[in-house]
Amino acid sequence: MPLESAPWNSRGRAKRTVFLSKSPISAKPNISFILYISTGLLAFLIPCSILSSPHPPLGGILRYAILSDIHGNLDALRSVLQALENQAINSYICLGDIVGYGPQPSECLHEIQKYCSAIVSGNHDLAACGLININSFNTLAKEAILWTRSKLTETDLQYLANLPLEDRAESCHLVHGTLYAPELFDYVQSSYDAHLTMSKMDAPVCFVGHSHVPVTFVQGDSISYSVQSTYEIEPKKKAIVNVGSVGQPRDKDPRACYAVYDTDSLSVTIHRTTYDVEAVVTKVREAGLPGSLGERLRMGR
Ligand SMILES: [Fe+2]
């Protein structure tokens, strides 16, 4: 069935809730002798399982890597994945906009599929599939979407078309734009925007992307925001954390941006990593995409 005639649109797409499975640790048998014998074995097996697979068991997760807005920038994505190798990550999450703007959309999608256990859709992902009208996109974005669509396989397009608009892990919400109306792809840029999303939250944290600017909104007597790189979660105060953009930062810092959420220390840290921006500028030009899409990467805007 052609994507354009799919029997649903982005507004009607199902939301999804993921309940993570119990870990081997939380399934401890209630017999002290077996516990004594198994402790040493578990201590050996668990680190091995984490190190040996990009999809370790989801239960007992302590550290999430949260990536958003890759936008077809494979060099930036690989620099992030490499930087995360030694950060004891248990699960990778993607907040959408895997494609659009950049020269390697299919390669980025396949890398995200390989690593991530939860992925939500971004407006550029749905635009590439023809599920969002691109008339509202600016000229550059529109041109890039048409180019991107021509480079993705039917399988890639079907995969993107079926991503959920929002997702839920044990202790956080995941959405590209807002939790209030995920299908509209609005931005969380003001206290009022944050209030609307917080009104839909029943977990202490909601991770978002979309604006390409890392910032955290926190609920207190009023809603405040912070651009500090580390946020200590206060369970009784809701927070919305924008994790920035891997492939097209817009905060005047050209380095790839991502977040690590540690559910043990209850902290979220924004990280930056360098990559070969000039190589991507060349790839953009050679792909026949508008040259300004490469040049903006140099300035992080
Ligand atoms: Fe984006």
Classify residue 9: in a domain, yes or no.
yes
62-85 average pLDDT score = 97
Confidence of residue 170 (pLDDT cuts 50, 70, 90): confident
- Look at the chain and report how many structural domains it folds into: 1
Query: What distance in angstroms lies between residue 26's CA and the mean position of ligand 1's atoms?
Result: 37
Q: If you measure from the C-alpha of residue 37 to the centroid of ligand 1, how many angstroms do you get, rounded to a whole number? A: 50
pTM: 0.82
- At 273-299, the pLDDT tens digits run 999 999 999 999 999 999 999 999 999
Q: How far is the CA of 250 from the centre of ligand 1 (A)?
A: 10
CA 53–ligand 1 middle distance (angstroms): 28
pLDDT at 103 over 50: yes
Q: Is residue 48 part of a domain?
A: yes
Q: Is the pLDDT of residue 146 over 90?
A: yes
CB atoms near residue 42 (< 10 Å) = 14
Determine the distance separating the centroid of ligand 1 and the alpha carbon of 3, expressed in angstroms: 22
Beta-carbon neighbours within 5 Å of ion ligand 1: 69, 97
- Length of the chain in terms of residues written: 301
Q: Which of 99, 125, 132, 82 is nearest to 293 (CA)?
A: 99
Question: How many other β-carbons are positioned within 10 Å of the β-carbon of residue 222?
Answer: 8
Please state, in angstroms and rounded to a whole number, the distance separating the CA atoms of residues 164 and 257. 23
**CATH number of the domain encompassing residue 31:** 3.60.21.10
Determine the structural domain holding residue 112 and report its residue range. 3-52+62-299
- Please tell me the distance between residue 96's alpha carbon and the centre of ligand 1 in angstroms: 8
Query: What integer pLDDT is reported at residue 60 of this predicted model?
Result: 61
Q: Is the predicted pLDDT of residue 264 greater than 60, yes or no?
A: yes
- Residue 215 pairs with which residues in a beta bridge? 242
By CB neighbour count within 10 A (0-12 exposed, 13-18 middle, 19+ buried), where does 20 fall? middle
Express each pLDDT in 233-242 by its tens digit: 998 999 999 9
Q: Is residue 57 part of a domain?
A: no
Judge whether 42 lies within some domain.
yes
d(CA 184, CA 178): 8
**pLDDT of 44 strictly over 60:** no
